[in-house]
Amino acid sequence: MLTESQLMEKWNPVLNHPELPAIESFHKKRTMAVMLENQEQSMAQEKQMLQEAGNYASQAANYDPILIGLVRRSMPQLIAYDICGVQPMSGPSGLIFAM
């Protein structure tokens, strides 16, 4: 598992893409980095399952940049950041902290 600073560095080209609206909040950037990493890992697992099932992995590879772009464009625009606490999870389940 990568640290928070490593994730921010890895996903910096996507987070600060010049053709997309800027993400002003550091919390949103940090959350986006974790979500992008989770999306990448999920796509890698699905691709592996497709390879086991047959020769469909090459078709699924074309959707990788589309899904990453979709996550990058849609997640910072959610109203959830304004009305409740958003906590990225590093796996399919995890602890939720509340004050």
Is the dihedral angle over the CA atoms 10, 74, 47, 37 positive or is it negative?
Answer: positive
Structure tokens at 21: 């609206």
Look at residue 40 and tell me whether its pLDDT is greater than 60.
Answer: yes
Q: Identify the top-confidence range among 25-39, 52-66, 80-94.
A: 25-39
Residue 94's Cα: distance from chain center in Å?
Answer: 16
DSSP string, 29-92: HHHHHHHHHHHHHHHHHHHHHHHHHSS-HHHHGGGHHHHHHHHHHHGGG-THHHHS-----SSS
Give the residue, 47 or 23, on which the prediction is more confident.
23
Percentage of the residues of the chain whose pLDDT score is greater than 90: 11
pTM score, whole prediction: 0.71
